[in-house]
Amino acid sequence: MYKALIVDDEEIERNGMVNLIPWEEQGIEIVGDAWNGFEGYQMVKEMEPDIVITDIKMPGMDGIELIAKVQKDYPDTFFIVLSGYGEYEYTSRAMELGVKYYILKPCDETKILKVVNQVKLEIQEKKKCKRYEDKKYNEEIKKLLPRAREQFFNKVLSGVIVSNREFQIYQGNNEADNKVCILNCRIDGEIDDLGKFVLQNITEEFITLEKVVMSTYIDNEVVFMLKDVNITFIRSVIQKLRIEYKNYCKKQISAALSDTDEFINMKELYDQTRERLFFDSYGSTHGLATAESLRKAGEENLRLLDFDKFKQVDDYVTLLYETNILFAKLTLEHYNTDEIKNVVVTLLNNLLKEEIQELQIQVQDKRSKRELYKYLIDKIVRNKPLILGYTHNGSRDNNRIQEILFEIYSNLDQRNLSLQWLAKDILFLNEEYFGRLFQRTMNKKFSTFVFEIRIEMAKRLIQFKPELLISELAELVGYTADGQYFSKVFKKYTNVTPSEYKEMVMK
């Protein structure tokens, strides 16, 4: 059934054509009638007819204007023009617009149906040609499919607008095929196309080609669209892939897996993987960044980070103490430098409300725990108003005591930490001056200060991890690993042994 629209300003003729001709017998459905070009164009937009039968001379928008506007917006529409004697100028302009079918007024049913049937034949022929072209096009696509598929995937992920027709060709007819996810494998550092090709092939071998819908390279990323996979399987693939690729190309790989969604949403899924790689810049998910792994990494950071205590810090001494506790926890959990960067960025983002990306740039060149420790202290000192936490003796002595306190806290795990060692080997100060300045400022001897901090730290670490071995705890706070002397001084300060304190915590 073909759809037709009649446009004529003469109501009697318009109604006659609509009602008196047996359109259905000819396979035609009249979807509407209009009295001028404006109304006719609105109906074309709504009904999208195959054929428009239109008068030429009409008020407002005439037939010529209607033809030109519809051909621009709906080029597959066929026109039959109704024209009277003396309207040669109009019919000439219609011909220039490519109209081939005319009926001279007055017109009867026979004339109209003869021309309509000619139009129907042309529409059928055009559709037949289109089917042939589509078939030929699809056959060519299949020949070039591997490369064309890669180019299509690359264009979409790069933000290039592609036609709905291309999406239809590649997404398949099965609804299950339309549910996909994106795996993004990012190679650290510069890599050539051979390196990307190797990664692509190893990954497809591990995953199996049946599950890989398409793949492409974007900068230092090798991106895969996958179907019928689960996170556990992909995580095992990435673990093997990281080992295999490092052996072959001496490069590290970071990977992220998107959620599962419709085929047409592949760009959003790809952006999701890039966002997950960004938030996992320091490898907190240990290989594969997913929604769940990032959530767990965040929870682990919350377990290590005592945000409330950091928010309550209002003096320099307490800041040093809390930072030292944090870094001791990170040592206990065997965090590497990159993982510590992630924790530091998370803390500063929550504490100072700075952008994560900017913080990541700032910590990028930090190569050791000590550098990160100092960066964290300095960053908070610059951005948060703090009191000193000790007796103020003038700007010169104040700067000196801050330096002394920083070195004490950052070296608490060193067994050789002493007034003599700090003065001579670290700060290059006269020992007597050092001792007098410290006692005058802190109102206690150096040895007493260090002893109290170490035991308080030990108590906090037991609260954090009660199953911690006494020998490991002793080393963390600057005592020998046998734990005997540590247990003795711990009991002297707390009236209970470390083991007894652990039992109290675990109750």
pLDDT one-digit tens code per residue, 454-478: 999 999 999 999 999 999 999 999 9
What is the tens place of the pLDDT at every residue in 7-42? 999 888 889 889 989 999 989 999 999 999 999 999
> pLDDT grade, residue 173 (50/70/90)?
low
CATH architecture designation of domain 146-289: 2-Layer Sandwich (3.30)
Tell me the sheet residues that pair with 188: none
Look at residue 161 in the predicted model and tell me its pLDDT: 87
Return mean pLDDT, the chain: 86
Look at residue 388 in the predicted model and tell me its pLDDT: 67
Q: Which helix (H) or strand (E) element contains residue 95?
A: helix 88-96
**Separation CA 273–CA 124 (nearest Å):** 47
Joined together, the tokens standing for residue 346 give 């998370």
Look at residue 142 in the predicted model and tell me its pLDDT: 62
Instruction: Name which of 122-131, 141-150, 172-181 the model is least confident about.
Output: 172-181
Look at residue 182 in the predicted model and tell me its pLDDT: 94
> Pick the residue with more confidence: 291 or 391?
291
**Separation CA 409–CA 273 (nearest Å):** 40
Q: Is 417 helix (H, G, I), strand (E, B) or coil?
A: coil
State how far the alpha carbon of 140 is from the alpha carbons of 134, 147, 173, 206, 288, in Å: 10, 12, 19, 30, 38
Could you tell me which residues come within 8 angstroms of residue 441 by beta carbon, excluding any fewer than 6 positions away? 390, 391, 393, 397, 401
Instruction: Name which of 40-54, 175-189, 247-261, 278-292 the model is least confident about.
Output: 278-292
Look at residue 371 in the predicted model and tell me its pLDDT: 94
CATH class of 448-506: mainly alpha
Q: Which helix (H) or strand (E) element contains residue 204?
A: helix 193-207
Could you tell me which residues come within 8 angstroms of residue 439 by beta carbon, excluding any fewer than 6 positions away? 445, 446
Q: For residues 252 and 246, is the Cβ–Cβ distance under 8 A?
A: yes
Look at residue 433 in the predicted model and tell me its pLDDT: 92
In this prediction, what percent of the chain has a pLDDT beyond 90?
A: 44
Looking at 214-304, list the stretches that DSSP marks H as alpha helix, in order from N- to C-terminal side: 231-249, 266-279, 291-304
283 Rama sector, left if φ>0, alpha if ψ -120 to 50, beta otherwise: left
Which residue reads 């090798």 in tokens?
222
Look at residue 88 in the predicted model and tell me its pLDDT: 66
User: Does position 176 have pLDDT exceeding 80, yes or no?
Assistant: no
Per domain, the residue ranges of the chain are 2-127, 146-289, 448-506
Identity (one letter) of the amino acid at 255? A
Peptide bond just before 22 cis, omega within 30 deg: no
User: Does position 146 have pLDDT exceeding 80, yes or no?
Assistant: no
User: Does position 175 have pLDDT exceeding 60, yes or no?
Assistant: no
**Separation CA 491–CA 272 (nearest Å):** 53
What is the tens place of the pLDDT at every residue in 234-250? 989 898 888 888 888 88
Q: For residues 185 and 270, is the Cβ–Cβ distance under 8 A?
A: no
Look at residue 284 in the predicted model and tell me its pLDDT: 54
Look at residue 47 in the predicted model and tell me its pLDDT: 92
Nearest to 456 by CA among 324, 340, 315, 344: 324
Q: What angle do CA 397, 399, 401 make, to 5 degrees?
A: 65
Q: For residues 327 and 373, is the Cβ–Cβ distance under 8 A?
A: yes
Give all strands of the β-sheet with 2-7 in edge-to-edge order. 28-34, 2-7, 51-55, 78-83, 101-104
What CATH code is assigned to 2-127?
3.40.50.2300
Q: For residues 78 and 52, is the Cβ–Cβ distance under 8 A?
A: yes
* Widest pairwise Cα distance in the chain: 122
In this prediction, what percent of the chain has a pLDDT beyond 70?
A: 91
| CB hemisphere CA count around 337 (13 angstroms) | 10
Domains 2-127 and 146-289 share a fold: no
What is the tens place of the pLDDT at every residue in 78-130? 999 887 756 667 677 888 888 888 888 878 888 899 999 999 999 888 888 87
Beta strand 253-257 pairing with 288-289: parallel
Tell me the sheet residues that pair with 182: 225
Instruction: Name which of 177-186, 372-381, 434-443, 468-477 the model is least confident about.
Output: 177-186
> pLDDT grade, residue 174 (50/70/90)?
very low
What is the tens place of the pLDDT at every residue in 397-427? 778 888 999 999 999 999 999 999 999 999 9
